[in-house]
Amino acid sequence: MAPTGSAHLNYSEFARARDRRGLSRATGATLSHAESTPPPAPRQQTALAALCGVGGIIGYAKKRSVPSLVAGVAVGVAYGYAATLASTEPAQAHAVGLAASAVLTAAGAARLAKTRALMPAGVLTALGLAGGYYNLTKYREWAA
């Protein structure tokens, strides 16, 4: 199976190529390089990981808010874990991303209700909702 315009196959093409050749999940020695290389980590998960981590650090730097630092880094690590897991276990990766999005949305919505401030509470809520939509859509795709 030749790659269609990119150096990487998406996970379903990777799995089909592996299964078509009768290979188990544990072996892939006879696949070509393009077919044996799982897709890269999703850019959305990686971007959310970076935004949350940097946001927590900025919150700490500006207001000396330890909860912002801990929560931002923790949610960022969860998104980062989801990004690394996506190439081997995509359904589980998107479940982790969905959980991180739920935490981010809940925290942002609670702050938004309390402060009515667009920055950072509204941005947190919007990022959480966008991440939740993406991860729920992808989870349904992979879990089916």
The pTM score is: 0.72
- Residue 1 pLDDT level (bands cut at 50, 70, 90): very low
For residue 136, with 0-12 CB atoms within 10 Å meaning exposed, 13-18 middle and 19 or more buried, which class applies?
middle
pLDDT band of residue 87 (cuts 50, 70, 90) is: confident
Which range has the worst mean pLDDT, 17-26, 42-51, 66-75?
A: 17-26
Domain-wise residue ranges, the chain: 1-39, 43-143
Q: Once rounded to an integer, what is the mean pLDDT over residues 68-85?
A: 95
